[in-house]
Homo-oligomer: A and B are copies of this chain.
Amino acid sequence: MTKAIILFSGGLDSTVMLAMALDQGRDCYALSFDYGQRHRVELEAAKSITKHYNVPHHIITIDPSAFAGSSLVSDCAVPTNRTTTEIAESGVPNTYVPARNTLFLSYALGQAEIHAAEEIYFGANALDNLPYPDCRPEFVTAYQALINVSTKQAIEGSPPTLVAPLIHWNKTEIIRKGQALNTPLHLTLSCYQPFPFNEPCQVCDACKLREEAFTAL
């Protein structure tokens, strides 16, 4: 049985990705991060979903001093009420966290070696590609090339494969796949600022992308 480390936020994309990996018969190990994100409640969603699937779940705490300047980890305002097109065309938003996905993947790489996993799943999608540099196909390619030379697994001939199954999918396609796999989408949380009541704000980029995607079903 192929073992896979799943980068898992508790959001819609990584939940569908987890369902896909399980559907492919993977032995999954979900990895989440507590990095001082303002939508930290997503970790509760992550716990519910891994419990639903009975998948081991590891939350790694990241020193908040490692990140700064992003609206995801500070008090500055996240962009609101933008359409999918506006989000795609507006450049790198202030919700970008410096080197975040590089760091998440580096933790996943260590976990892959520790657990002898053959795959690492990374849930970047086609809509993330434009605004976020660390969600693009060339980033995935470069990270795989790094994996191939950086660990004991690699130099012993078995580098893990970085799998990014959503990289060319839009949100509607992801939701359709989730529905086909009977994924518990109601347990997922995508909002960047789910407060004061842990409910989606309906106006941040994550909420707008999700809303538009469901509307387009």
Q: Is the CB of A107 within 8 A of B66?
A: yes
Nearest Cβ on chain B to A150's Cβ, whole angstroms: 5
A134 to B, closest residue via Cβ: B150
Q: Which residues of B contact A143 (CB under 8 A)?
A: 146, 150
Q: Is the CB of B133 within 8 A of A92?
A: no
Q: Which of A17-25, A95-103, A172-180 contacts B (4 or more CB under 8 A)?
A: A95-103
Is A142 an interface residue when CB atoms closer than 8 A count as contact? yes
Please pick, from B96, B110, B111, B155, the residue contacting A133 in the complex, using a CB distance under 8 A. Answer: B155
Number of interface residues of A (CB under 8 A): 43
Q: Is the CB of B149 within 8 A of A92?
A: no
A105 to B, closest residue via Cβ: B106
Q: Is the interface of A mostly helix, strand, loop or mixed?
A: helix
Known: A106-B103, A113-B98, A150-B134. A65 touches B60 (CB 8 A): yes
Q: Is the CB of B62 within 8 A of A150?
A: no
Please pick, from B62, B66, B100, B151, the residue contacting A99 in the complex, using a CB distance under 8 A. Answer: B151
A136 and B155 CA atoms in complex are apart in Å by 11
Is A87 an interface residue when CB atoms closer than 8 A count as contact? no
Q: Which residues of B contact A92 (CB under 8 A)?
A: 152, 155
Q: Is the CB of B133 within 8 A of A142?
A: no
Closest 5 CB pairs of A and B: A99-B110, A98-B113, A98-B110, A99-B109, A103-B106
Residue pairs across A and B with Cβ atoms less than 8 A apart, 6 shown, are: A61-B63, A66-B107, A69-B114, A133-B150, A134-B150, A139-B149
